Amino acid sequence: MLYSLLPFPFFWGGEEISRMALVTTAELCDANPQYIMNGELRALLPKFKIYGQRQVFYGQVVTLRVFEDNVLVREFLEEKGDDRVLVVDGGGSLRCAILGGNPVVQAQNNGWAGIIVNGCIRDVDEINGCDIGVRALSSHPMKASKKGLGEKHLPVHFGGTRICDGEWLYADTDGILVSKSELSV
C-alpha cells in the first residue's frame, strides 16, 4: 500500500496516522484513468525485483544515468533524501552491481524513500535489512568501477517509459508507477 497526503491529521483507532492515508498502485490507476490515457501516469514493465524492508514507497524522482560506475550513485545518497526516490538508469547492465549495502544504509539514514536501479545491486542481505525500498533487475557480486562518469537530472528511459527528474514514483508489490504530478485518490 502507498501513502498520500491528506490536508489534516487523520486518526485511526485513536492514533494519529500523521496525515497519511493508505493507497495502492492499483487504486491510483483505477482513480486516475484520464492520466493513464494521456500518458501522465505510466507503469514500468514488471521486471524489477523487490529488495529492502519497505515494499511500499513513493516520492519525488531524482534521475541519474551511469554505466557500470557507482561514484555518482554514492554521491547522491550521501545527500539528504527528503523522502525522494533516486532513479538510476544503469543501462540495464547485468555485468556488475552499481549499488551495494553501504550506500543503501547511507540512503536510509539520510531519509531517501527508495531507489530504483535499471541494473544490478549487491549485498542483498544487508539491503534487505534496511528500512528503504529498493528495486533492481537482479543482484551481482562484482562491484562497479569508480570513474565518476554519468549524467544527473536528465530524463531516463527504461522499463518501457520515460522518467523525468521531478516526477513522482509510486511502488508497491503490484508494480511501479510514474506520474507527472503527485497523485491522490
Annotated binding site for substrate: 100-103, 122-123
DSSP-derived 3-state class of residue 71? helix
Q: Are 132 and 63 in contact (CB under 8 A)?
A: no
Both ends of the chain: CA-CA distance in Å? Answer: 13
147 φ/ψ angles, rounded to the nearest 5 degrees = -95, -20
Helix (H) or strand (E) run with residue 103 in it: helix 101-109
Q: Are 73 and 121 in contact (CB under 8 A)?
A: no
Helix (H) or strand (E) run with residue 136 in it: strand 133-139
Q: Which of 105, 87, 83 is nearest to 2 (CA)?
A: 83
Spatial separation of the C-alpha atoms in residues 83 and 108, rounded to whole Å: 10
Binding residues: 100-103, 122-123
39 φ/ψ angles, rounded to the nearest 5 degrees = 85, 5
